[in-house]
């Protein structure tokens, strides 16, 4: 996929729609009660972090309780399955994720939901690199050193992920395929427990989401070795990309966006999308996004739908080319 079609400037991507007057028609475009944002991972991960950044802003705009509801399991698939079954009344939203809406469909065409038809896309929240991180006891602290260690100790160097078929898992599989190495994948139930074990030395490395990894990199609890988008994130100008460090054209990202179940009224989709974009444009939200490397967010529902279609196509091609299996 040509990401340039989405890599619009922050001013355009996060430009807030004009503040709407609170007319009776506009008020009817909201649910009658509380709104749940379902997150498919435990607290402490990138998806959870961004949901909790947005929830209070939307609560203030909508004058409704906006609750983050963690339903962890199957790298976000269980949450997507849950939301797909909910009524399209706007009371349940999903923090849609690369796992649930691109990777899982590429690996398992027999999912219980259709990512194309069972959801109402609202807005892309952001795209982040994954960070290749290690615990501080590791001697391999550059990508060439890590590749050499994997070749010298096949199957003994450990990489954690937030679960099988997660973005971190696919980044690892792409790394193994491109570097021609064998390393041991250790899946967890989310980034929070993974990072706890990585800091504690139970696992050595991870291609972790930048959002989840950043606080621990900044505190010195883990080391950042490389980042996985083609260009360096503004949040990490001194950390090389995987491509720069020796594997050309390496590109493995994580992205997040808000969606509801199918059947949401068009007026509600429009209102919610515009309010999410307004929230993304707030200075303190932009600062939090920038700190975590989340870029290229915002835009209409159509843009988010097109983005997800392109991502599904990309990962279907990757899975086929690399021969990745769901249980690898």
Confidence of residue 18 (pLDDT cuts 50, 70, 90): very low
pLDDT computed for residue 28 by the predictor: 60
Predicted confidence (pLDDT) per residue in 191-204, tens digit? 889 999 999 999 99
pLDDT digits (tens, 9 = 90+) for 80-98: 999 999 999 999 999 999 9
Q: What is the mean pLDDT of the chain?
A: 89
- 79, two tokens: 């949450």
> Does 6 have pLDDT greater than 70?
no
Quickly state the pLDDT bin for 190 (edges 50, 70, 90).
Answer: confident
C-alpha neighbours within 13 Å on the C-beta side of residue 36:
15
- Specify the pLDDT at position 22: 47
Cα torsion 99, 105, 108, 113: sign: positive
**For residue range 209-231, what is the model confidence (pLDDT) as tens digits?**
898 899 999 999 999 999 999 99
Distance, CA of 2 to CA of 71 (rounded, Å): 33
Query: pLDDT tens digit string along 252-276?
Result: 999 999 999 999 999 999 999 999 9
Residue 55, pLDDT score:
98
Q: What are phi and psi of 60, to 5 degrees?
A: -65, -40
Residue of 71 and 320 predicted with greater confidence = 71
Please report which confidence band the pLDDT of residue 326 belongs to, taking 50, 70 and 90 as the band edges. low
| Burial classification of residue 320, based on how many CB atoms lie within 10 Å of its CB (0-12 exposed, 13-18 middle, 19 or more buried) | exposed
Beta-bridge partner residues of 127: 255, 295
* pLDDT-derived band at 25, boundaries 50, 70, 90: very low
What is the pLDDT at residue 183?
97
Contacts of 286 (CB under 8 A, 6+ apart): 10, 14, 280
Rounded Cα distance between 50 and 58, Å, is 12
User: What tens digit of pLDDT does each residue of 142-177 get?
Assistant: 999 999 999 999 999 999 998 888 889 999 999 999
Percent of the chain at pLDDT > 90 equals: 75
Query: 94: phi > 0 → left, psi -120 to 50 → alpha, else beta; which?
Result: beta
Average pLDDT over residues 238-245: 97
What pLDDT does residue 293 have?
86
């Amino acid at each position: 996929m040509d990401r340039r079609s989405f890599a619009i400037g922050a001013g355009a991507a996060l430009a807030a729609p004009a503040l709407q007057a609170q007319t009776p028609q506009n008020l009817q475009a909201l649910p009658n009660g509380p709104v749940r944002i379902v997150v498919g991972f435990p607290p402490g991960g990138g998806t959870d972090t961004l949901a909790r950044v947005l929830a209070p802003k939307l609560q203030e705009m909508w004058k409704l309780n906006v609750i983050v509801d963690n339903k962890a399991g199957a790298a976000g698939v269980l949450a997507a399955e849950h939301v797909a079954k909910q009524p399209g009344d706007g009371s349940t939203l999903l923090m849609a994720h690369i796992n649930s809406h691109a990777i899982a469909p590429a690996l398992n065409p027999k999912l219980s939901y259709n990512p194309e038809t069972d959801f109402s896309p609202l807005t892309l929240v952001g795209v982040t690199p994954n960070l290749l991180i290690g615990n501080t006891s590791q001697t391999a602290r550059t990508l060439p050193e890590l590749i050499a260690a994997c070749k010298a100790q096949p199957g003994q160097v450990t990489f954690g992920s937030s679960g099988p078929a997660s973005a971190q898992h696919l980044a690892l599989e792409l790394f193994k395929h491109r570097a021609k190495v064998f390393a041991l994948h250790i899946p967890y139930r989310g980034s929070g427990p993974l990072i706890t074990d990585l800091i504690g030395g139970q696992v050595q490395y991870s291609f972790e989401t930048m959002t989840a990894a950043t606080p621990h990199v900044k505190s010195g609890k883990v080391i950042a070795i490389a980042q996985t988008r083609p260009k360096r994130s503004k949040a990490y100008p001194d950390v090389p990309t995987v491509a720069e460090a020796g594997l050309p054209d390496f590109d493995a990202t994580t992205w997040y966006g808000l969606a509801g179940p199918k059947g949401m009224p068009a007026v509600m989709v429009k209102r919610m999308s515009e309010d999410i974009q307004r929230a993304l444009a707030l200075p303190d939200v932009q600062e939090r996004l920038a700190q975590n490397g989340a870029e290229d967010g915002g835009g209409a529902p159509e843009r988010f739908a097109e983005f997800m279609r392109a991502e599904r196509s990309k990962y279907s091609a990757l899975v086929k080319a690399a021969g990745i299996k769901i249980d690898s």
